[in-house]
Structures are given as structure tokens and as C-alpha cells.
Structure 1
């Protein structure tokens, strides 16, 4: 019975993904006549051809997004693990106060306007790649999850390392980080997904077209497609909008946006599952 339940649950996750890929590879007229199917009735790459008409812009957006994701994930993991290690140490005098402070910041937000002023006028990150990285570097939730994992590490190994002459930095990089690998991979995946799927920061802070991330580019393309589809009679263009693959183009953009992460996730699945089981928050 349990096996049947999980098989059905797996299908509930897999079928929508297959359907999205199928729609992106289906001719637009076939979609309108026959509806959605798990396998294309009439195979067509027209949606991808339209999206790839500007390959340089797409590749540049991919490059920016990959760079932001890699740098942001690396720095975010380092800062998260450093903060979590500090407040997990039982001999740190202010660990309870710092833990309360971290938790408090997860309850309240400064608001959009102060956030915008902070990034643009105080940090001067407007139209900078760092505007896509800095705001997501630290999350109270990830810090507390990492702290919960590090709380379970045996204190004796750190005391033994100190007796052998190791300082805090050496203990952290040679002992704490390797032992925290499952939690690091789990949180790293969450951070990378956040960077990869973000378009909001680009919309707020980026005007330079060379710094447009992938999700923001696809968001603008989707809005353009929707506008053209809803205003056929008013728009003067040199092609037939009735033949424009608006439905399949939307799904093709979803495939292009999610494809790389779908490839990366299975590589770290073992660590991800392990991190979920041992990274619970401990009081």
C-alpha cells in the first residue's frame, strides 16, 4: 500500500514535468485543436527557434545567472556555516543572544523602500552584479538549520584538536566543514535554487542589458508574448501573430529556465536526503 502511494506521488511530480516538455515540442495549432498530451501529437521546434532568435542575449543571460549562482552559493555557504558554527559553540558567551538575534530577523522585514535605499544609496550596488548576490547571502532559516546540525557534532573532537594545537580556523575548515557536508549540500542546493530562479532583484536593480539574469530575460519575453497575443489587432508586425506559438513558447521558456537545475539536482540527491534527515533545528 505504501509503495503504491509513493508511486502515485512520484507520478504526480513527474507527469507535469513531462507535460511541460511535451507542450514545448508540440505545434501550436495542434495544441489548440487537440489540447495537451504527454507526447506531442505534431512535433515542432518552432517555440525554441523563436526564443533562440537572439542566442547572444540568451547565452549572456545564462552566463550571468551561472556566475551569480556559483559565487552567491559559495559565499552564502561560507557565511552561513561561519555564523552557525559561532552560535553552536557551547563555550561562546553570547551564543543565546546571537541565536535570538538571528531568529528575530526572520520575523520582521525592513520593507521594500528601505531595502532599495540600502542597496542603491548606501551600498552603491545599482547596476552591479553584486546587487544580484548580496541580498541573498544570509538567511536566518539556513543559519538555524546549520546550527541544528552542528549542535550534534561531538564536542570532544574539537577539544582534542585544541589540545593538539589547532586554532579555531583550522578546526573549522579541516573538521567542521567536512563533517557538515550533508547539511552544506542541502543548504547549498536551496541557496542555488534561490539565486537561479530569482528575477526580482534584477527587476529592481539592473538596467544594464548585459547584466540581465536568465529568469528576468524570460520573464520579459513571456510578458511580450502575452501582450502580443492579447493585442493582435492593435500590433503592427511583419509576421502573422495568429501563427505565433504563444503556448508552446511559454513552456519552452520553462524548460530552458529549469533544465540546468534538473540536471544538477540528481548529482547531489544522496547528500540532499541525508541533510534533510539530520539537519533539523535543535533547541
Structure 2
């Protein structure tokens, strides 16, 4: 065995150990969600379920219509929000990446300024509820995350690294900026767009804060907020001595694990479909002007 083969084998072995280290916690969470409460209390957590039980899922899914509706709200918000957000940020980033664009520097400063400073929670709450009247609407779950300055700067860097010769040749052939953007820039930027799209999707899917602030209608509750309410109710019941008799029948530990599985399951599935773009797009590079 040559030194090069030995080094490659060593690197692969190290990466395999790192992969096992990342996967093991997920396997433990999944195993605990299918274990009985008594087994976890007696033996602790393990990779393989002890005393297989679906009690935790029966408790969380006690009202199937409610959680299905919550999943529907989250899926709708995630799909619509990610599509609109990626479209707007890509158009803005492409404009900022063109050196000949006259408003490039003022807009870049504006994007950078909003990344560092913001109006604060109270002004934002007053604006959304008193002036825009978006409380208890799906728009309030979509609009606040439409444009994220950091992702705009990442996409700008990616667009600026595209070969200018191709775009110059397209201009000579009579193509306008919109045609160059849709037919050349976007196809060449699939890794970067997929990476930012995955991050934006995670942002929308994992969000429960906007729902907590602006949603009081149970029909518009996203799944993360729905699961958060279940977890909060369990923790409150467990900490209240007057409810000790009630919480005795609730599998508290396994319910927490089941909630985690239901919350991250769709995200893990989406990662497998987008991982090849993520690996290429994660090397977007540093921000340059």
C-alpha cells in the first residue's frame, strides 16, 4: 500500500467517524421517540428502541386534523415564501453584481446597513399590527423573511464570479439584461441558488416566532408553533405539583423526542434531494466588492 493510498484511507476513516458522530444523535432521538417512558427512565437513551412503543406519537397526534392543518400551513408558507424570497433576492443580487449598474454602491450600502441595524421588535410589531393590519394572515408569516441581506450578499458574490465573456457575447447578439439573467446567470448559478434556497426553506420551516407574535387564529398556526404549544403545555404540567396526577400518564421524555422527529423529518428529507447542490454552493466564497 502506497503512502498516498494510506493517507486517503486515513482521511476516509476520519470522515466516516465524523459522519457517524453526526448521525448518532438523530438515531438516538428517533429511537427514543419509539421507546416506552419506563424503559428510558430505567435504561436511558440508546440507538435501538427499548420496549418499542408508539405512545408518544399517539399523544402528539391525538388530534390528527389539527396537526395536518398545521403541516399544511407550514408547507404552504415554506413553498411560497422560499420561491418569492429566492426570486427577489436573486434579482437584487444580480443587479448588485453588475459593475455598470449606477445604483450598485448605494443599494449595496443599504443592504449592508439593514444587516447590521434594524428597527427593533416593538416598532416592527406596531407596523405589522397597527399600520399594515397583517395579524392573523398568511402574509405575516411570509413577508418578514422575503429578503435576507446576508443571502443577498452571498448571491451577489456568486453572480459576480460568473464569466463575463459569456454575458458580453450575449449582449453583442442583442440579448437584454432580463434575458441574460434568466437564460445565462440563473442556469449557471444553480448551486448557489440551491444552497441559499435550502437555508431560506429552513428559515421558513423552523420559524415559530412570527406565529407566536402575530397568529391567534388556530386555523393559521404553523406546525412548529403547534408542536411548541404541546411541549410548553407538557413542561408546565410537569412543573406544577397540582397536576402531578395528570402528568403521570404523559410520556414526557418520549413526547419530546417525537416532537423533534416531526419537526425535523421533512428538513432531513429535503437535504437528501439538495445535498449535491449544497456541497458545491457552500463554497460561495468571501464577500467582495
Distance (Å, rounded) in 1 between the aligned partners of 2:205 and 2:163: 35
Partner of 1:106: 115
Q: Any conservation in 2 of the 1:28–1:243 contact (CA below 8 Å)?
A: no
Q: Any conservation in 1 of the 2:170–2:180 contact (CA below 8 Å)?
A: yes
Distance (Å, rounded) in 2 between the aligned partners of 1:62 and 1:227: 24
6-15 or 128-137, which deviates more: 6-15
1:243 pairs with 217, 239, 249, which one?
249
1:212 pairs with 221, 225, 230, which one?
221
Question: Would you say how many aligned residue pairs link Structure 1 and Structure 2?
Answer: 280
Query: Structure 1 residue 148 and structure 2 residue 157: aligned?
Result: yes
Is the partner of 1:234 in helix, strand or coil?
Answer: helix
Distance (Å, rounded) in 2 between the aligned partners of 1:258 and 1:178: 30
Partner of 2:43: 34
Partner of 2:54: 45
Distance (Å, rounded) in 2 between the aligned partners of 1:122 and 1:157: 46
Distance (Å, rounded) in 2 between the aligned partners of 1:184 and 1:121: 35
Unmatched runs of 5 consecutive residues or more in structure 2: 1-9
Q: Which runs of 4+ in 1 moved over 3 A?
A: none
Partner of 2:235: 226
Partner of 1:126: 135
The offset of 1:57, in angstroms, is 0.4
Partner of 1:261: 267
Distance (Å, rounded) in 2 between the aligned partners of 1:52 and 1:276: 37
TM-score (norm 1): 0.95
Distance (Å, rounded) in 2 between the aligned partners of 1:5 and 1:217: 40
1:168 pairs with 168, 173, 177, which one?
177
Query: Structure 1 residue 276 and structure 2 residue 276: aligned?
Result: no
The offset of 1:96, in angstroms, is 1.9
The offset of 1:279, in angstroms, is 4.8
CA RMSD in angstroms comes to: 1.5
Distance (Å, rounded) in 1 between the aligned partners of 2:140 and 2:98: 32
Q: Any conservation in 2 of the 1:149–1:281 contact (CA below 8 Å)?
A: no
Alignment deviations for residues 26-83 of structure 1 (CA, whole Å, 9 cap, x no partner): 0001111111111112100000011111000000000000000000100000011011
